[in-house]
Amino acid sequence: MEQLLEIIKVIVLGIIQGITEWLPISSTGHMILADTFLNLNQPKDFMDMFYVVIQLGSILAVVVLYFNKLNPFALSKTRSERQETFQLWFKVIAAILPIGVIGLLVDDWVTERFYNPTVIAIALIFYGVLFILLEKRNRRVKPRIRSFDQLSYRTAVCIGILQLLAIIPGTSRSGSTILGAMLLSCSRFVATEFSFFMAIPVMFGASAYKILKFILKVGLSTITAAQWGLLLLGSAVAFVVSLFAIKFLMNFIRKHDFTAFGWYRIALGAIVIVYFGAQAVLA
């Protein structure tokens, strides 16, 4: 019975991960908050790795959906289209360098100090307000960058620098990159897809780092068969749900802006403050 309960909890976490990884509402923030209530009966070292590795399922969904667009060796592409694809990857690499260097240096420090409901709530509300204000501005200002050809390396690096904001839980990796790209005059479509593509090397790298860190600290042999099953199940659920979440978001932004996500973040942040504030008073 206890094992079945753990499986149900992992499925719920996989669903949350699959939805929130791509919507600008903070997957890490939602996962931490969800586990506060679900409370998987697993060691902390395993859970620290679980939160990152489960994101591999979400990343694989991007690879599947955009495989042809991201594959420079596709036989259906002309020579110029292959060159454009290589250029897109070079821009992605340029954009992820800041998080690749600085993220590794501050990962432990941030985890120890900022992975808590208060920080998550503040980040949810702050960036929710920013999304609303940005969309109000965008009604008067038209984006200059409407295709990846128009996206310069300088702009890509600036988006990568703004991605560093996502180190703080509750910010949202996709939220910071989409918001940053739009601030730099990218269209919603370009900002969203570029955010997806940046996630591929970032999250593969983060997962590899977490796994290596786990191995060096406690050893890979400490993971039981049941824990491997939970990891695979969570990743598989995140993959399937992500396929639908990505398609939903791309269809959504064709007709709507990100204001609704801004209000969602503010509402969720307020709920978190009230709930955990009440807990602190009653404790």
Q: What is the DSSP string of 124-181?
A: HHHHHHHHHHHHHHHTTS--SB-SGGG--HHHHHHHHHHGGGGGSTTS-HHHHHHHHH
Higher pLDDT, 31 or 261: 261
Cα 172 to chain center, whole Å?
6
**Residues 190/207, Cβ–Cβ less than 8 Å:** no
In contact, 59 and 204? CB cutoff 8 Å: yes
What is this structure's pTM? 0.88
* pLDDT on residue 283: 67
Task: Tell me which residue range forms the domain holding 73.
Answer: 2-282
Residue 277 has pLDDT above 80, yes or no: yes
Per residue in 36-68, pLDDT (tens digit) is: 788 888 888 888 788 878 888 999 999 999 999
Interacting residues of 46 by C-beta distance below 8 A, sequence separation 6+ = 214, 223, 227
Q: What integer is the mean pLDDT of 61-88?
A: 94
- How many Å apart are CA 3 and CA 37, to the nearest integer? 17
154-164 average pLDDT score: 93
pLDDT in tens, 91-147: 999 999 998 888 777 877 877 788 788 888 899 999 999 999 988 988 888 899 999
Strand partners, 142: none
CB distance 187 to 32 below 8 Å: no
| Predicted local distance difference test score (pLDDT) of residue 115 | 79
- The model's pLDDT over 225-264, given as tens digits with 9 standing for 90+, comes to 888 899 999 999 999 999 999 999 999 998 888 999 999 9
pLDDT at position 239, please?
95
Provide the domain count of the chain. 1
Q: How far is CA 273 from CA 36, 82, 112, 184, 279, in A?
A: 14, 49, 20, 32, 10
End-to-end CA distance of the chain: 31
